[in-house]
Amino acid sequence: MDHLSAQQRSKNMSAIRSKDTKPEMIVRRGLWKRGFRYRLNHKRLPGHPDLVLRKYRTCIFVNGCFWHGHLVESNTMQNSACCKIPNTNRDFWIDKIRRNKERDREEQQALAAMGWHCITVWECELKPTKREETLDSIVFTLNHIWLQDHGAKAIPYPKLDEEDMQTSVAAESDSG
């Protein structure tokens, strides 16, 4: 049974934000400090990604572990290390998390079909002990994406003929 009244629970749940969350602000500050520029909550893209980096054709979603069921398998819906499903009204929460996971998958597939790359950053990956490693990983991924999409094309070295291999060096003399 819930220890809060319906009115208290409603007030508590309405205070949960979808924009400018602490994990999102950590990612935004970290990328800005590293020189990346982005747009916020792009309305024309499926799922309204938290960050959009047009130069890299990449969308970044900063997901809360609970709301998006991090490390929770859709078929079993058991608790994970960072996502504890409440025992109160458990069926409701299982259905909600399952729908969120399915919607996330559909939105990322739609973005991929439009030619966009997607990066998902989980709230638990932004804890102080892992934060810099996670931000460095995002930067590495963005640079890898840019090189893949815009990098120099590989040009093979020309093959050398045997005549080229047998040319004499200027310091050598032909006389005996």
pLDDT exceeds cutoff 70 at 42 = yes
Q: Report which listed range, 13-17, 35-39, 156-160, is most confident.
A: 35-39
**CB atoms < 10 A from the CB of 146, how many?**
16
More confident residue, 172 or 91: 91
- At 18 the pLDDT is 61
Residue-wise DSSP of 134-145: HHHHHHHHHHHH
- At 15 the pLDDT is 56
- At 34 the pLDDT is 94
pLDDT exceeds cutoff 70 at 66 = yes
Summarised one tens digit per residue, pLDDT across range 88-113 is 888 888 888 889 999 999 999 999 99
First to last CA, the chain: 103
- At 57 the pLDDT is 93
pLDDT exceeds cutoff 70 at 130 = yes
- At 156 the pLDDT is 75
What's the pTM value of the predicted model, to 2 decimals?
0.75
- At 60 the pLDDT is 95
CB-based contact 56:115 (threshold 8 Å): no
For the chain, the residue count is 176
pLDDT exceeds cutoff 70 at 36 = yes
What share of the chain in percent tops pLDDT 70?
78
Which among 72, 48, 70, 71 is positioned nearest to 60, based on CA atoms? 48
Separation in Å, CA 101 to CA 13, 16, 30, 66: 20, 19, 26, 11
122 Cβ contact partners less than 8 Å away, ≥ 6 residues apart:
63, 65, 68, 70, 82
Which among 18, 16, 27, 21 is positioned nearest to 52, based on CA atoms? 27
Classify residue 87 by burial, with Cβ atoms within 10 Å: 0-12, 13-18, 19+.
exposed
**Domains of the chain by range and CATH?**
13-148 (3.40.960.10)
